[in-house]
Amino acid sequence: DTGVSQDPRHKITKRGQNVTFRCDPISEHNRLYWYRQTLGQGPEFLTYFQNEAQLEKSRLLSDRFSAERPKGSFSTLEIQRTEQGDSAMYLCASSHGPVRNEQFFGPGTRLTVL
Amino acid sequence: AQTVTQSQPEMSVQEAETVTLSCTYDTSESDYYLFWYKQPPSRQMILVIRQEAYKQQNATENRFSVNFQKAAKSFSLKISDSQLGDAAMYFCAYRSASNQFYFGTGTSLTVIP
């Protein structure tokens, strides 16, 4: 296992379209996190899964955003009716918590909404 | 809500010298974790060092060490013998009891040859 992977790495879409991103965590990690990072800022927490259960959601996660982790392995993040303000890097991270709880990050998906 | 503040948007250091990056945080929790992450240009974020709040001893990882002042809610990162490969954006992060992570806005470190 080479680490956390994310697909696609880049996505360009038109305003109003729906997009879906995928994250594959490190295989033995039961915790998975989604973040949004805009230029010049640190990652902003969006949501967190422990196995298949979504335990925390940020208020930043509007109704247009939904995340799933159906089998406790990979996760998807969907954005409906994209807006230009959604343009950002979407990062996924996983951890083997709670003992060490350090996060391992994926390369991110860069979304551009035209 | 917890907040993490990095007051130095940019820092520079001469190669082989020592640099300290500052981080303060605000919380009402007593048990939490603190982290420093490094994000090289166009590359993935990687963990540099972690500190458990219940431990008084400052964490050290090779050339990286922290100065953790719990009462002052301060968590600075010291990089000794700076190398060109240390050039990156550095983020301070706080993990809450509910397992949410909060990141600062980052400090861009330049290493001058």
Query: Among B48, B50, B109, B49, which Cα is nearest to B83's?
Result: B109
Give the tens place of pLDDT for each residue, A7-51.
999 999 999 999 999 999 998 899 999 999 998 889 999 999 999
Residue B48 is predicted with a pLDDT of 95
**B-chain residues within 8 Å CB-CB of A55?**
98-99
State the Cα angle at A36 between B97 and A103, rounded to 5°: 45
Per the prediction, chain B carries an average pLDDT of 93
Residue A18 is predicted with a pLDDT of 98
Probe site for chain A from B3, B7, B10, B45 (most A CB atoms < 10 A) = B45
Beta-bridged to residue A37, according to DSSP, are A89
Cβ separation A105–B106 shorter than 8 A: no
Chain B residue closest in CA terms to A89: B42
